[in-house]
Amino acid sequence: VILSGKKDELLKIVDELLKNHDPLEVVENHLKPAMEMIGDMYDRGDIFLPQLILSSQTVKPAFELVETKMKGGKLNLGKFVVATVKGDIHDIGKNIVSAVVKSSGFEVIDLGKDVPSEKIVEVIEKEKPIALGLSAMTTTTAPKIREVSTLMKEKRLNVPIIVGGATLNDKLAKDLGADYYAKNATDVVRILKNILKGLNELHQNNGGRNCTV
């Protein structure tokens, strides 16, 4: 259904699943595995870029439908800005992260794909999130992470950077100036909760005074 671009049919299926399942279960047990499988098919060369883009466009309304049913989004534990770096049009992983993080109670500001580094930093400066998530799926776009990190340092923006993508690992992430590497959406949520815990402890140690991230 997703590969065929049948948005309406997918929405009907997801709507039925939501009647009997928790929204997060629908993401974790149905949408997420389906999109990861499609991502794997693209990596193996079984499908090509037009099909990958179509799949991403097809599943987006389904994620949006699930998000309307997620109670967690109202908790607003903190802002999380996420984007796919400039030159990278692969946004399946980012979309999964956005949905799962939102379901975990964070406010997600999704800047989309192929986002200029300057734009990302501009939003960070304005929104003051607890963390920034960057996706880079290729070796040619991964260096954009360092570009964002450098721009943030120049503006003295002390916001942790979480990165993910097929070509990344923990060492490379650190070399590019990121603070954390996440293998999947669950990793991102775990990291965000640890960051939030650290901020809360800092807030308490400062006698309850507001702390700027």
What CATH number should be reported for the domain holding residue 171? 3.40.50.280
Beta-bridge partners for 108: 80
Judge if 65 and 85 occupy the same domain.
no
pLDDT for the residue numbered 73: 44
Q: Are residues 48 and 80 in the same domain?
A: no
Range of the domain at 65: 1-69
pLDDT of residue 203: 63
What mean pLDDT do residues 177-191 have?
A: 92
Q: Are 58 and 142 members of one domain? A: no
Percent above pLDDT 90 for the chain: 52
Cβ atoms of residues 125 and 150 within 8 Å:
no
Confidence at residue 213, expressed as pLDDT on a 0 to 100 scale: 39
Report CA-CA distances (Å) from 18 to 26, 67, 106, 165.
Answer: 7, 11, 21, 29
Q: Which residue has the higher pLDDT, 191 or 37?
A: 191
Residue 172, CA distances (Å) to 16, 76, 121, 136, 151 in order:
42, 31, 21, 12, 19
Model pLDDT, residue 210: 42
Same domain, residue pair 9 and 41: yes
Q: pTM of the prediction?
A: 0.73
Whether 22 and 88 map to the same domain: the answer is no
Q: Are residues 129 and 141 in the same domain?
A: yes
- Region 176-195: mean pLDDT is 93
User: Number of folded domains in the chain?
Assistant: 2
CB 120, CB 132: distance < 8 Å: yes
**Tally of residues, the chain:** 213
- 109 and 123 share one domain: yes
